[in-house]
């Protein structure tokens, strides 16, 4: 036994070691991504770079100087930029106003540009451009070649068709303005997001492993499989968001509208499955959180369908979705708080951890609205933490759950065996009750009474028929019956024996009959009291049947004042009528037990105890 325990501990440690290594790899990937995260600096160029210098105004407002690092709002109306592009050499030296043939690259985060140059027609770079159609709602790079040779100021009209989500769009466009140097530029832009995309792909691969484990767990009926399913799905969509939020994704997937849809949908589904996962952790507050999750799922469906049947862009539904998600988060957070204080368990730290992604989302929405950052930056940190913690939990709990599943399988097999024994017990009990000499004696009594007292013979025949019907009926009744029904059968039997042994006395005190008991439990005990107790007396004798209840149990006692026996001598249950069968059926059907007390020359007491917790 000790060797098995040692091996189990060794296996457990090896799992935790793997989890630790996985955690370190994830942290290393995170650090690499952090060091190469989206920068507000211009894309590098071997031939130098450009920047825009001038002033701006919102709508028809006052002109204001463009200051590097200061925020220009992009959701308060159209913004006009006025000024010039200036050239820097590769070493950072100033070369003057930029007027060359190399196009300028603009990073457009759901914004449209219209260029006005002296002596040239306005150039429209937006979703209404006939060359592109109306499906360019998303993040993309576009190039523009300056057409004017003069150094007159250029005006750029920035139009943002959205009111939420890209508050920093103009800041990013100005900070990332670069020279479009062909393939070199595309490679440079793509490389900025390589690490983040790699981490996203790793997360998606890990999610596939989780989903595979979840499928295996479901097939072998592990109870916690639903947690693994929802964790795997949450990690899958977190990995998708990671990948499509990376720099340069436009050069990997040039379908702008698809990129936007995948990015938004991945965050929506990540939060949905995360909320479902948190709800599964709750024990006492599931109803409110379930309602919140269902309504969130319905709202998500509406936000997906709305762009298909109306002119509303999918991106514009994100603001509404954020509000709905915040409300759902608030409801679930309240449930977590109440659960934390109501449920005293060692796993309460999970409730604290569940606050992390909910809080991260609130911070991200606030940060996006206030133009502190763009998108789910904080949530991405939580993504990594979720994967690490989930990996440790799965590696820790799966072995124990497999053992639990194996034990459950064994218990199921034992239950099948017990049910088979129970069926055999019922047949054995029935057969033991209908002893041939008992039938012969009863029929003989009926024959004699037909001559001496026909009405009494009729009553005896009626009770005998009821008795036989009760015994045969037990063959098809694997479930417990009410105590009141069991006592009917006892009365039929006693009425028969009273005819044969009129000097015997039977008394009943039924203080409680509204509970369930295996059929043919009390009647065999009464028969046992007659056969082994009263019949060995010279005459008479009494059997007293009492039912009552305590705070925890229902009890039935059968007391006789027969000859009794020495309880220190092991009872041979094979020689006692149905005793072994009664014990087995009580245990299997109602988790009950049978106790026997006896004193030689005084009598015997048999006590049936059925826990109240068993409700059939």
Task: Report how far residue 486's alpha carbon sits from residue 515's, in angstroms, rounded to the nearest whole number.
Answer: 11
Report which listed range, 167-171, 253-257, 277-281, 431-435, is most confident: 167-171
Beta strand pairing call for 542-549 and 505-510: parallel
Burial class of residue 21 in the structure, from the number of CB atoms within 10 Å of its CB (0-12 exposed, 13-18 middle, 19+ buried): exposed
Least confident of 200-214, 452-466, 467-481, 536-550: 467-481
Mean pLDDT of the chain: 79
Q: For residue 423, how many other CB atoms are within 10 A of its CB?
A: 12
Look at 467 and 200; give whichever has higher pLDDT.
200
pLDDT at residue number 354: 83
The domain made up of 434-611 has a fold known as Heat Shock Protein 90 (3.30.565)
pLDDT at residue number 10: 47
Q: Does residue 484 surpass a pLDDT of 50?
A: yes
Q: Does residue 131 surpass a pLDDT of 50?
A: no
Look at 524 and 61; give whichever has higher pLDDT.
61
Residue 430 in contact with residue 472, Cβ under 8 Å?
A: yes
The radius of gyration of the chain's CA atoms, rounded to the nearest angstrom, is 41
Q: Does residue 274 surpass a pLDDT of 50?
A: yes
Burial letters for 302-329: b for 16+ Cβ neighbours within 10 Å, e otherwise? Answer: ebbebbeeeeebbbbbbeebbebbeebb
Task: Kindly state the percentage of the chain with pLDDT values over 70.
Answer: 75
Q: What sections of 282-376 are H helices per DSSP?
A: 286-309, 317-342, 349-369
Task: Report how far residue 120's alpha carbon sits from residue 361's, in angstroms, rounded to the nearest whole number.
Answer: 46
Residue 520 in contact with residue 430, Cβ under 8 Å?
A: yes
pLDDT at residue number 339: 84
Task: Kindly state the percentage of the chain with pLDDT values over 90.
Answer: 24
Q: Does residue 475 surpass a pLDDT of 70?
A: no
Q: Does residue 219 surpass a pLDDT of 70?
A: yes
pLDDT at residue number 155: 94
Handedness of CA 501, 502, 504, 508 (dihedral sign): positive
| End-to-end Cα, the chain, rounded Å | 38
Task: Report how far residue 106's alpha carbon sits from residue 574's, in angstroms, rounded to the nearest whole number.
Answer: 94
pLDDT in tens, 291-341: 999 999 999 999 989 888 887 888 888 889 999 999 999 999 999 888 888
Burial class of residue 22 in the structure, from the number of CB atoms within 10 Å of its CB (0-12 exposed, 13-18 middle, 19+ buried): middle
What are the CB-based long-range contacts (under 8 Å, 24+) for 391-396? Answer: 391/19, 391/22, 391/23, 391/206, 392/16, 392/19, 392/23, 394/210, 394/213, 394/228, 394/231, 395/15, 395/16, 395/18, 395/19, 396/12, 396/15, 396/16, 396/19
Q: Does residue 19 surpass a pLDDT of 80?
A: no
Phi, psi of 282 (to 5 degrees): -75, 150
Q: What is the mean pLDDT of residues 16-38?
A: 50
Residue 235 in contact with residue 390, Cβ under 8 Å?
A: yes
pTM: 0.61
Task: Report how far residue 51's alpha carbon sits from residue 88's, in angstroms, rounded to the nearest whole number.
Answer: 8
Q: Does residue 255 surpass a pLDDT of 90?
A: no
Give domain limits for the chain.
2-38+192-406, 49-189, 434-611
Q: For residue 117, how many other CB atoms are within 10 A of its CB?
A: 18
Q: Does residue 413 surpass a pLDDT of 80?
A: no
**Reported confidence tier of residue 590, pLDDT bands at 50, 70, 90:** confident
Residue 349 in contact with residue 367, Cβ under 8 Å?
A: no
**Reported confidence tier of residue 423, pLDDT bands at 50, 70, 90:** low
**Reported confidence tier of residue 428, pLDDT bands at 50, 70, 90:** low
Q: What is the mean pLDDT of residues 279-299?
A: 88
C-alpha distances (whole Å) from 115 to each of 42, 81, 97, 111, 153 are 20, 10, 17, 13, 11
pLDDT at residue number 420: 54
């Amino acid at each position: 036994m000790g060797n098995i325990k040692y091996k189990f501990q060794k296996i457990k440690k090896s799992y935790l070691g793997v989890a630790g290594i996985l955690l370190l790899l994830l942290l290393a990937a995170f650090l690499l991504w952090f060091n190469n995260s989206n920068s507000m600096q211009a894309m590098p160029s071997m031939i130098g770079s450009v920047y825009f210098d001038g002033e701006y105004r919102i709508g028809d407002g006052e002109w204001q100087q463009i200051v590097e690092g200061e925020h220009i709002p992009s959701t308060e109306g159209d913004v006009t930029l006025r000024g010039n592009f200036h050239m820097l050499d590769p070493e950072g030296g100033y070369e003057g106003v930029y007027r060359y043939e190399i196009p300028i690259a603009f990073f457009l985060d759901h914004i449209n540009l219209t260029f006005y140059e002296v002596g040239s027609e306005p150039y429209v770079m937006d979703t209404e451009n006939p060359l592109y159609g109306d499906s360019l709602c998303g993040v993309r790079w576009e190039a523009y070649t300056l057409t004017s040779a003069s150094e007159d100021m250029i005006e750029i009209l920035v139009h943002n068709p959205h009111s939420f989500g890209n508050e920093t769009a103009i800041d990013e466009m100005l900070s990332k303005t670069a020279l479009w140097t062909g393939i070199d530029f595309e490679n440079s832009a793509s490389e900025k997001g390589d690490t983040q995309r790699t981490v996203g792909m790793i997360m998606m691969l890990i999610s596939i492993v989780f989903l595979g484990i979840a499928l295996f767990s479901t097939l072998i009926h592990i109870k916690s499989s639903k947690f693994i399913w929802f964790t795997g799905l949450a990690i899958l969509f977190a990995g998708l968001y990671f990948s499509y939020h990376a720099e340069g994704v436009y050069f990997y997937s040039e379908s702008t509208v698809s990129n936007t849809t995948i990015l938004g949908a991945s965050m929506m589904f990540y939060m949905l499955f995360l909320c479902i996962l948190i709800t599964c952790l709750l024990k006492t507050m599931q109803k409110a959180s379930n309602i919140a999750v269902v309504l969130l799922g319905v709202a998500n469906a509406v936000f997906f369908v709305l762009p298909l049947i109306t002119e509303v862009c999918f991106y514009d539904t994100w603001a509404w979705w954020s509000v709905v998600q915040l409300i759902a988060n608030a409801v679930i957070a309240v449930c977590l708080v109440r659960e934390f204080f109501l449920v005293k368990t060692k796993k309460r730290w999970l409730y604290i951890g569940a606050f992390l992604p909910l809080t991260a989302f609130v911070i991200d929405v606030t940060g996006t609205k206030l133009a502190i950052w763009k998108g789910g930056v904080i949530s991405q940190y939580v993504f990594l933490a979720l994967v690490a913690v989930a990996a440790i939990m799965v590696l820790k709990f799966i072995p124990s759950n497999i053992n639990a599943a194996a034990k459950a399988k064994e218990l199921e097999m034992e239950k099948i065996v017990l049910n088979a024994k129970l069926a055999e017990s019922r047949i054995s009990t029935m057969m033991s009750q209908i002893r041939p000499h008992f039938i012969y004696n009863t029929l003989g009594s009926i024959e004699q009474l037909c001559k001496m007292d026909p009405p009494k013979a009729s009553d005896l025949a009626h009770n005998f028929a009821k008795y036989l019907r009760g015994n045969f009926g037990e063959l098809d009744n694997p479930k417990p019956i009410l105590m009141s029904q069991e006592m009917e059968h006892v009365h039929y039997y006693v009425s028969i024996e009273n005819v044969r042994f009129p000097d015997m006395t039977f008394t009943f005190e039924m203080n409680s009959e509204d509970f369930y008991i295996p059929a043919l439990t009390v009647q065999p005990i009464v028969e046992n009291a007659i056969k082994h107790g009263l019949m060995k007396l010279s005459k008479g004798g009494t059997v007293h049947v009492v039912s009552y209840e305590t705070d925890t149990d229902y009890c039935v006692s059968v007391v006789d004042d027969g000859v009794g026996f020495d309880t220190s001598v092991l009872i041979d249950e094979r020689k006692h009528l149905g005793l072994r069968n009664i014990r087995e059926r009580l245990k299997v059907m109602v988790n009950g037990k049978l106790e026997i007390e006896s004193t030689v020359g005084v009598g015997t007491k048999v006590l049936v105890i059925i826990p109240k917790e068993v409700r059939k």
